[in-house]
């Protein structure tokens, strides 16, 4: 073939190859449609779990000499389900985060600790205080990661907790508890709960199927931290209630204290940037992106 003819044919060959490559390019999988009924059932399960009673539980409160820069009554009270006749394993006790010379992170259960981080967050046009509490448990089994539990407590203008955003290193749900006044104000602004939802403050289920408000928290006589009830097997929070509400545990055969330790950033947990396998959630997050909130909190 002459050079002139080749110059004419070459563009057609390149175009054909390009079309062939384009045809072989994998087609992105279409997103799976949301199973709304399944999401509603899962939310109902989480709400039913908040009604569980513990026949026995251990009780952890902050040590009286904790100096975290906040009144101690704003700290959480941890209620661990206690299985009668069964010695509690060490992996069921929260502790201080430690790091060895090789960089491995572990939990010292001889030093029960709850970590506090405080900052201001914007909720609409309001700048509100948010207290983030984290506590850690050893791995459930060898080779598994350290487990984190906690919540972000957003305080309203009067200093009361108004939204509690539960965090965990396990699970896909995002559980946000709201105070009774917030739900009442949201109901006044938005009306009835949306389809598939129980509370007016909850977002459209198709937009945020992972978000659920498991229950409404009572409003106490003064600002205070909540009770957090933790399942014996999974150590996941079963519910979060105001101290003013009736106890959901029948007996407390064991009680002790934890150290409330304020830190400025996650780096302060072990002196270096936390390793990825610690699976820390974002420290401070405004709840306005996932809840239908009233104008003022």
For residues 174-191, average pLDDT? 97
Look at residue 267 and tell me whether its pLDDT is greater than 50.
yes
Look at residue 20 and tell me whether its pLDDT is greater than 50.
no
pLDDT band at 25, cuts 50/70/90?
Answer: low
Instruction: Give the DSSP letter string of 267-293.
Output: GGGTSSPPPGGG-PPPS---GGGTS--
Residue whose structure tokens are 């003819």: 5
pLDDT of residue 140: 83
Q: What is the pLDDT of residues 72-122, one digit of tens each?
A: 999 999 999 987 666 665 556 899 999 887 778 889 999 999 999 999 999
Look at residue 257 and tell me whether its pLDDT is greater than 90.
yes
In a domain, 19, yes or no: no
- Greater confidence, 270 or 260? 260
For the chain, the average pLDDT equals 87
In a domain, 38, yes or no: no
In a domain, 74, yes or no: yes
pLDDT of residue 220: 84
| CB contact at 8 A, 293 and 124 | yes
- Greater confidence, 14 or 144? 144
In a domain, 228, yes or no: yes
* Sign of the alpha-carbon torsion through 138, 139, 145, 148: negative
Lowest-confidence pick of 98-102, 126-130, 265-269, 287-291: 98-102
- Of all residues in the chain, what percent are helix, strand and coil, respectively (each to 5)? 20, 30, 45
pLDDT of residue 9: 47
Q: What is the CA radius of gyration of the chain?
A: 25
Gap between the Cα atoms of 258 and 150, Å rounded: 14
List the domain range (segments joined by +) for residue 85: 52-178+222-285
Domain count, the chain: 1
Give percent of the chain above pLDDT 90. 67
In a domain, 14, yes or no: no
Instruction: Name the pTM for this structure.
Output: 0.86
* Sign of the alpha-carbon torsion through 130, 285, 234, 250: positive
Q: What is the pLDDT of residues 223-239, one digit of tens each?
A: 999 999 999 989 999 99
pLDDT of residue 4: 47
pLDDT of residue 32: 62
pLDDT of residue 187: 97
Gap between the Cα atoms of 7 and 284, Å rounded: 63
Residue whose structure tokens are 């809840």: 291
* Residue 211 C-beta-side C-alpha neighbours within 13 Å: 21
Going from the C-alpha of 233 to that of each of 83, 140, 151, 184, 269, the distances in angstroms are 10, 10, 20, 35, 26
For residues 265-276, average pLDDT? 86
In a domain, 43, yes or no: no
> Which tokens is 16 given?
């054909």
Gap between the Cα atoms of 223 and 225, Å rounded: 7
- Other CB atoms within 10 Å distance of the CB of residue 6: 10
Q: What is the pLDDT of residues 119-168, one digit of tens each?
A: 999 999 999 999 999 999 998 888 888 999 999 999 998 999 999 999 99
Gap between the Cα atoms of 216 and 186, Å rounded: 12
Gap between the Cα atoms of 138 and 228, Å rounded: 19
- Greater confidence, 1 or 260? 260
pLDDT of residue 101: 77
- Other CB atoms within 10 Å distance of the CB of residue 35: 11
Look at residue 248 and tell me whether its pLDDT is greater than 70.
yes
Alpha helical stretches, state H, the chain: 3-24, 36-49, 180-190
In a domain, 264, yes or no: yes
In a domain, 18, yes or no: no
């Amino acid at each position: 073939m002459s050079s002139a003819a080749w110059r004419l044919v070459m563009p057609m060959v390149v175009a054909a190859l390009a079309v062939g490559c384009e045809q072989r390019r994998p087609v992105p999988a279409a997103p799976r449609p949301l199973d709304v009924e399944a999401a509603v059932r899962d939310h109902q399960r989480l709400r039913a779990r908040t009604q569980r009673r513990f026949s026995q539980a251990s009780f952890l409160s902050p040590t009286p000499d904790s100096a975290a820069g906040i009144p101690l009554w704003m700290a959480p009270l941890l209620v661990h389900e206690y299985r009668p006749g069964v010695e509690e394993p060490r992996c069921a006790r929260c502790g201080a985060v430690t790091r060895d010379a090789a960089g491995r992170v572990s939990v010292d259960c001889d030093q029960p600790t709850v970590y506090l981080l405080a900052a201001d967050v914007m909720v609409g046009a309001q700048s509100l205080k948010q207290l983030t509490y984290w506590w850690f448990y050893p791995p459930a089994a060898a080779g598994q990661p350290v487990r984190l539990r906690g919540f972000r407590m957003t305080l309203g203008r009067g200093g009361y907790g108004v939204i509690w955003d539960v965090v965990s290193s396990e699970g896909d749900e995002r559980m946000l508890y709201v105070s009774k006044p917030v739900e009442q104000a949201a109901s006044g602004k938005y009306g009835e709960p949306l389809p598939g939802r129980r509370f007016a403050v909850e977002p459209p289920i198709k937009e945020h199927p992972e978000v659920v408000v498991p229950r409404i928290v009572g409003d106490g006589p003064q600002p205070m931290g909540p009770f957090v009830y933790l399942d014996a097997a999974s150590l996941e929070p079963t519910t979060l209630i105001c101290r003013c509400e009736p106890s959901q545990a029948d007996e407390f055969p064991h009680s002790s204290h934890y150290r409330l330790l304020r830190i400025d950033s996650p780096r302060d947990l072990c002196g270096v940037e936390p390793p990825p396998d610690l699976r820390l959630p974002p420290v401070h997050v405004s709840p306005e992106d996932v809840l239908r909130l009233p104008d003022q909190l």
